[in-house]
Amino acid sequence: WASVCRARWCHAEQKPMLEEYLSNNRAAMTGPILLPDYFLPQNEEQAIQQLQSQSHIINLS
């Protein structure tokens, strides 16, 4: 997803606002790191509930 956003910005010759850039990179960088830790030790439903209740962890990282 991050590559698609960067390609869109480059093609349109625009610079993203800081918040848009950080939001895009937050998901791109922390998702692959944090998600396996949630899904390995527990079942899928528990992991989804935990991610939803602790979404601030992704925002802070």
Q: Where are the beta strands (DSSP E) in 1-61?
A: none
pLDDT at 60: 58
Tally the residues of the chain. Answer: 61
Instruction: Compute the C-alpha angle 11/28/52, nearest 5°.
Output: 130
Q: Which residues are CB-contacts of 50 (< 8 A; sequence separation ≥ 6)?
A: 38, 42
Interval 10-52: pLDDT, tens: 778 877 777 877 777 776 776 677 777 666 666 777 777 777 7
Q: What are the residue boundaries of the structural domains of the chain, listed by start?
A: 2-60
pLDDT at 2: 61
